[in-house]
Structure 1
Amino acid sequence: MSRRLAAVLTAAALLPFAAAPAAAASPDRSQPAARAAQVRILGTGSQFSPNADGHRDRLAVRYRLSAPARVSVEVQHRGRTVVRTAPKVRRAGTRSFVWDGTLASGKRAADGAYRVVLHATGHATTRSDAARVVVDTSPTRLDVGTFGLSSDTVYPYATVIDDVVVGNFGFDSLYYGDTWNEQQEWIAASRAQVVDRDGHVVATERFTPASPRTAGGSMDGPTSCGPCGRFTWDGRDSDGVRQAPGTYRIRVVHGRDAAGNLRIAGPVRAVTVSAAQLEPSTTVRDLLAADATRTYDIPTGCLGCEVSSCPPVDSTRFTGGLTFDRTPSHCRVSSALFTTPVPGRRTPYDTFSVAATGGPSTEGGDGSADLRTYTGLTIEPSHPMTGDATVSTDVVSVSPNSEVYPSDHAPSVTWLIDGLAGSYDIASFTVTIHTYVPVA
């Protein structure tokens, strides 16, 4: 055999071994196989109010990834997907998805329950977790008390006075806290908001404490009211700019609910801003004493002491008059309170005075009486009446210190006749009331 042929045969014999693949390497079982990422929602807060008021307008859904993954989010409402995000790679650890309440259509989500579903995909496996969230943009209503305004119109353009409307809020029953002070603190933490027709808050007013009127109606304050709070609004915004004529709403707000919405206490009242001018107006009422409205007679007894009271009776000296008689031994007191309505709208600038005409029950006798006015919670100085006389009180504010308390009753002024000695008759009253009314 020649050398050349031997070489060829040798090469042919070795060819299968040269072409055979190398043996597969054994796996390294010391390294764990990669696993799909786990996703778990940690917390959402569950409620939010995407109404652009700056309070809980967004909802953060916190979740934890056990490994890097591509994460996408679905928001579902009534079985339909209303928001879907494109998958994005997220690292392992705690992450969050923030929803501003906007739907895929660009509209704001309607109030109601939604389901947020997170999908985490890794190593060809998708894991999901879901949570229930609530969109709630409706203010919370608190039926805790009464809220009224002194007038349904305010005149910020008037030049004769700096006109205001006065609002009063008060508890009509025990509510937050068991004590008067706790309830007063609740009112002090509340605010009156003025809202324009577009829903924008143009002014926010603080409350100041105000005392209620007594059950007998003798004082110029609210009735059926626990602790009360008062505020004024002058028809201007928080920067002092007079508001355009039109209708506004005033509401009492106290904090926010879990979704971030305002809590509104009591009813919402409408008030009109008018560009009209005001002018002073005087009303004079001449009343026979017996025809004057009597709120109540001074009661008998005081904290256990025996004080016998004799209410006034019809006068025998003056037709239509009243007799205040202290001569019987049991008549320690003979007094009565009178009232008459204030005409028209009510402002802190209203004033009134009362004149009483009378004389001793027996002409030439020595009986005497006392005339006083009640304003706010203050008894004004006395004005003694002796002999046949007409005595006038000072001109006093209907509501001192702007304390105008709206109530279910017509606003009124109040005065007192108190028999001092002997027997004294009141023939008549003249009540003069100064107010401000729109220019005709």
Structure 2
Amino acid sequence: MSNPPLKPLAIRERLSEVRYEIRGELARRARDLEAQGRKLIKLNIGNPGAFGFRAPEHLQRAIADDMGRTDPYTHQQGLPVAREAIAEYYARRQHPDAHPDRIFLGNGVSELIDLALRALLNPGDEVLVPSPDYPLWSASTILNDGRPVYYRCAPENGFQPDPVEIEALVSSRTRAIVLINPNNPSGASYPRELLEKIVAIARKHDLLLLVDEIYDQILYDDATFQPVAPLAGDHPCLTFSGLSKVHRACGWRVGWAMLSGAAERIHDFRNALDLLGALRLCANVPGQYAIVAAVNGVDTISELTAPGGRLYETRRAVIEACEASEHLSLVKPAGALYAFPAVVGHAARGFDDHEFALELMNEEGVLVVPGSSFNVPYRNHFRVTLLPEASVMRDVFARIDRALARRAETAQKVVPLKPRNVA
């Protein structure tokens, strides 16, 4: 007698709604190609260490000096000395209510985003999320039984959001507005006047502000950064940042969140964050010992983003390549570590971003992220990181332009059928 066939292990149904192509199917295909001996230029992840960057020496030294104290669990909110340093740092930037008891340390900002949404959402609650977004925001909303509702940050508007549209999307189930500033993937930086309007919407409709400011010091040319919490004042606002980008220490998994707003309004939410932090015991301890050195130490990012700096010159190479191409258009990134070009002209006819990313990897050895992975309705964009050397990026865009030229030539050869004569 034969055994009945084994059923596949069932998974959570809501995972079918989650997209994370930054490390998804294309990245898995890239690993397969590398296993076959192919050399790829992988521009899919903003991972400084993979491109030769190191965390600043004074941060490395801080961890090494305190390694002997890192064995025990620490408080669920994080090392007291680290939280005190973060609170003092935000106080210097005019953040209201900057106190260690309102600071939460996590295994990167990613974990803290998940904890915040888990503390906030009931099934069916809605979160206003930018489109394009960093897809972790959408995924965490979905996996915590919420519903992401997208407000457009349109390319034709420089990827700036429209406050009128944001307010029109508010419903009785809306709980929060997400802001990513500077934005990933577009590189847009939001001016104070725009942020004031969005804060006013949050205040009017009693919405929590969830503000991802992990790229706050990565700015180019004359771009400026305006933190949201000082504009929000006594209105509830949760600000996220960490060591991964400005301090090039992604693998250390050190992120933090600061909760501001009137005490009576945030009391229950603060306690919920504390409970969820306790359930995972604590965040990675060794990395926390670098926080004091990071927030009080020398500025090591500005030299990279100023003219002549590595990030600036790579960004310049991307801008110049897009300007020289008849197949590409680019809104110049004002901040962050990415560019988000659009495919235009003949090459854009019938263009599918995922199909193109696969073709580019197979034929030109370059891995990019399809733009639709960032929850946009259009399919003619892709994202690249600005972390390679400028010379590498010039070569990358020569390959991209070559691939797009082939597509444009094919599109021009297609002769549309003549309409039939109607009797």
Same fold? TM cut 0.5: no
Q: Scaled by the length of structure 1, what TM-score is found? A: 0.19
> Which structure has more strand as a fraction of its residues?
1
Q: Scaled by the length of structure 2, what TM-score is found? A: 0.20
> Which structure has more helix as a fraction of its residues?
2
Larger radius of gyration: 1
Question: Which has the higher relative contact order, 1 or 2, with Cα contacts under 8 A spaced 6 or more apart?
Answer: 2
